[in-house]
Every structure is written in C-alpha cells, then in structure tokens.
Amino acid sequence: MALKEDEKQLGKKVLTAINYLDKVGGTDALVAANSTVTLLIAAVKALPNTIGSEAQACAAIARGLALAVPNNILSESHGASTIAGLRTTVFNAISDTVPVFPTFAGDLP
C-alpha cells in the first residue's frame, strides 16, 4: 500500500527515532528480541538511564516509534532483527518522495 504524503512526513520522525536508538543503549539484540513495535517501544522505555537526559531521549524515541504502525510506516510485526533493518524498512517506505538520507536524525518527536 502506498503511503500518503503526511504519512511519509511522519516517517521522518520514525526514522529519526530509529537513528537515535543506539545512542541510548539500544542494540540489534534489543530489536531482535522484540518482534513487534509495541514490545520494542516498551523495551526502549525500560532501557537503563545512565546519563541525565537519557530518560527523555528514550521517551522521545518511543513517541517516534509509536507513529510507525498507525501511519503505515511499519507493520506491528516489523520483521527486523537489527537497527539497520528497521532503518532500511522505514527509509524504503518514505524515500520515494521525501528527500531524506537513511541516517537522518533531525526530527525527533
């Protein structure tokens, strides 16, 4: 199913969230162990807070990931086993009309 333009724009927020994931302790193992977006969001929220702003960053990443399913950017069962796999799926969903690089990280919700 083709994404609507507003869904693609929201996809930039999802892509940003994924690109920040490793900055707060997210790993490929975290993605692989949480096969649905809902489980992944819960896992991100549960990451240990080792620096002062990390809890806020985790909350922002969780908000970004929460945009993925209702806007048809990811299916609930995302099928990715790595952060790069998530990034590629989102990038491929939005990049045909939204000018963005796979490493885009400028739109954290």
The pLDDT value given to residue 53:
64
Write down the mean pLDDT value for the chain. 85
Entry pTM: 0.84
Q: What is the dihedral of CA 62, 108, 27, 91, to 10 degrees?
A: 110
The pLDDT value given to residue 27:
94
User: Which pLDDT band holds residue 78 (cuts at 50, 70, 90)?
Assistant: very high
Q: What are 24's two structure tokens?
A: 């707060």
Average pLDDT over residues 32-60: 89
Query: Is the pLDDT score of 42 beyond 60?
Result: yes
